[in-house]
């Protein structure tokens, strides 16, 4: 089954404790992306990657890091989480090109206290 | 900059037709997408308009007018299961995607 898998689904952590949210896709997609979703703000793009070892900033990259060492994986790293990073996070993947459907993971609800 | 505006909420009756509008500001883009998201779920792709005009996919249709900086999603024969949030999104062509804040659709019996 074609899917994007995120882990964990839920996470409560404390300020400053480094964490990683994993994302893996099994569709051999070149393009992967991370979004955060906050009430009234829709989905905002954090980082994206066009292929292995190629990443770039989205609209809200501050406080986040990513890596793309393998095509299927695109982890999101919060080196020193802060309460304003409490949010619902989605990973998505798609083939490169126009008119392509993005496939989203089930989301990770992160709370930073 | 680039931005999209959608109504925050729309309410309609089961069996009716509803239109969710999306206006945008951008210097250039490749296309406009629509996504559906049920509470607690992930966004799922509905449609993509690269060219002006209407794209039809079953009960859902999407429209784009580049000259008016405007698009809409049309849902026909509304069902209770269509109650969800709907997002329009700009494909900027630079690998960035800009989403609107979403429209919450309530379908009443």
Residue A103: its chain B contacts at CB < 8 A?
45
pLDDT digits (tens, 9 = 90+) for B17-58: 999 999 999 888 889 999 999 999 999 999 999 999 999 989
Mean pLDDT of A74-79: 98
In this model, does residue A98 exceed pLDDT 90?
A: no
Bridge partners of B3, per DSSP, are B25
Query: Closest-CA residue in chain B for A43?
Result: B99
Bridge partners of B84, per DSSP, are B105
Report the C-alpha gap between A50 and B38 in whole angstroms.
28
Give me chain B's average pLDDT, please. 93
Q: Closest Cα of chain A to B106: distance in Å? A: 16
Residue A104: its chain B contacts at CB < 8 A?
42-44
Among B2, B39, B86, B33, which Cα is nearest to A100's?
B33
Mean pLDDT of A74-80: 98
Residue A99 pLDDT grade (very low, low, confident, very high; cuts 50, 70, 90)? low
């Amino acid at each position: 089954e074609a899917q994007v898998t995120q882990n964990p689904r839920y996470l409560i952590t404390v300020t400053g404790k480094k964490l990683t949210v994993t994302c893996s896709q099994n569709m051999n997609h070149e393009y992967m992306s991370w979004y955060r979703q906050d009430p009234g703000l829709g989905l905002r793009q954090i980082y994206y990657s066009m292929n292995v070892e190629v990443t770039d900033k989205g609209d809200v990259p501050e406080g986040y890091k990513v890596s793309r060492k393998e095509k299927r994986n695109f982890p999101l790293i919060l080196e020193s989480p802060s309460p304003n990073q409490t949010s619902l996070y989605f990973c998505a993947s798609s083939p490169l090109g126009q008119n392509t459907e993005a496939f989203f993971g089930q989301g990770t609800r992160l709370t930073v206290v | 900059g680039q931005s999209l505006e959608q109504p925050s909420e729309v309410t309609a009756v089961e069996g009716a037709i509803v239109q969710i509008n999306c206006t945008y500001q951008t210097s250039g883009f490749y296309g406009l997408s629509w996504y559906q998201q049920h509470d607690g779920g992930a966004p799922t792709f509905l449609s993509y308009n690269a060219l002006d005009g209407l794209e039809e996919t079953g009960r859902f249709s999407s429209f784009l007018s580049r000259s008016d900086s405007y698009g809409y999603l049309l849902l026909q024969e509304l069902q209770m299961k269509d109650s969800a949030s709907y997002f329009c999104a700009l494909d900027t062509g630079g690998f960035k995607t800009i989403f609107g804040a979403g429209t919450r659709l309530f379908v009443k019996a």
